[in-house]
A and B are shown apart, each in its own frame.
Chain A
Amino acid sequence: MTCLEHEEHISRYVDGELSEGESGSMFAHLTVCSHCRSFMRELLWLRAELMSEKEKTAFDLAMQDAEAKHLAGVSWTTPVRRAGWSSRRVSLSLPITAVIAILLLLTSALLTRAIVETPPPKEVILISLPTVEVQGYRVEATPTVRQ
């Protein structure tokens, strides 16, 4: 038998598909052939590496699934609590919440500006003067306004 034929037996042996008689012949050859021993070692190493890669891929897939499920479970809602509604949650979508927040800010800014810029009312004092007669003429005093 050639080394190539023995290698095929080694391949079947690692799969558990070699008969007892064939295994005996293969091991007898392995005791004298370093090339085939090396092939056997490499094949066992390859199997271990493939198993490790399989587990790594399965783990990566499981992580991808978990991440996808996690992302699907998150919704952009803002819980709002109201007095007397402690057991109820009102959810608003993020855009609506944002619009309401902006409107509130604008309203408060406008109100603040209006309050700051309104001038204080002016103080008006009306002074009435008595009517007097000077040399037969009746003189009426014009009311004056003083601030």
Chain B
Amino acid sequence: MITPSELDLLKRAQAGDERAQGALYDLHWRSVYLYALRLLVDSDLAKDTAQNAMVKALASLKTLDHPKALRSWLLMIVRNEVFTILRTKRRNGVEPLEQHMDVLVENRTPLEDVMNGERSEIIRQALENLKPAFREVIVLREYEQLSYREIAAVTDSTESAVKSRLFHARKVLLEQLRPFFRERSTS
């Protein structure tokens, strides 16, 4: 949902107003960076990616026909940037988003290792352990609050695919967090 003031900002930015472009950058920077961070799990890489994406977005702002879709459009550009990085990583032996969907958890850090840590750290770790394709739909739905249709537009897939992927991502996430949930509900 875009506010009237943001719409006005966007129109001025599209007309070439540099101050409006700067304000738009500030307004969306954090959301764009967090999305890149969740997908890449590397803060430096996420910063570079988000910055590149924002620069590209501002440069092609005139091509945005539907101002209401600004957030989805920005996230789509970030996603493309992330894909480019993951493709480069794949050449160096790292899998991209869509590969090995049957392997559900990446097993980076066993959750037991952070069980004694902070609650948010446990959730973060469980999220990071998800396959990127699953992590992405969780982030878009829970953090960015996008609808299934918007997620489908960002991820270039169908609504039913989003529905299914989100359901499976939640199942896997809950599977990881269930011991923690039980511990919390009994204490």
* Chain A contact residues, CB within 8 Å of chain B: 7-8, 11-12, 15, 17, 39, 42-43, 45-47, 49-54, 56-58, 61
- Tell me, in angstroms, the Cα distance from A52 to B127 when the chains sit together: 13
Q: How many residue pairs, one in A and one in B, have C-beta atoms under 8 Å apart?
A: 60
* Chain B contact residues, CB within 8 Å of chain A: 30, 33-34, 119-120, 123-124, 127, 138, 141-143, 147-148, 163-164, 166-167, 170-171, 173-174, 177-178, 181, 184-185
Instruction: Given the known inter-chain contacts A15-B166, A54-B143, please indicate yes or no for A46 contacting B174, CB distance below 8 A.
Output: yes
- Tell me, in angstroms, the Cα distance from A55 to B33 when the chains sit together: 15
The residue of chain A having its C-beta at the shortest distance from the C-beta of B167 within the complex is A11
Q: Can you give 24 contacting A-B residue pairs, CB < 8 Å?
A: A11-B166, A11-B167, A11-B170, A12-B163, A15-B166, A39-B174, A42-B181, A43-B170, A45-B184, A46-B181, A47-B142, A49-B123, A50-B123, A50-B138, A52-B120, A52-B123, A53-B120, A53-B124, A54-B142, A56-B120, A57-B120, A57-B124, A61-B30, A61-B34
Contact B142 A50 (CB under 8 A): yes
B residues less than 8 Å from A12 (CB atoms): 163, 167
Contact A57 B173 (CB under 8 A): no
A residues less than 8 Å from B166 (CB atoms): 11, 15
A residues less than 8 Å from B148 (CB atoms): 15, 17
Contact A46 B124 (CB under 8 A): no
> How many Å from the CB of B123 to the closest CB on chain A?
4
Contact B173 A46 (CB under 8 A): yes
- Tell me, in angstroms, the Cα distance from A46 to B184 when the chains sit together: 12
Contact A17 B143 (CB under 8 A): no
Contact B123 A53 (CB under 8 A): yes
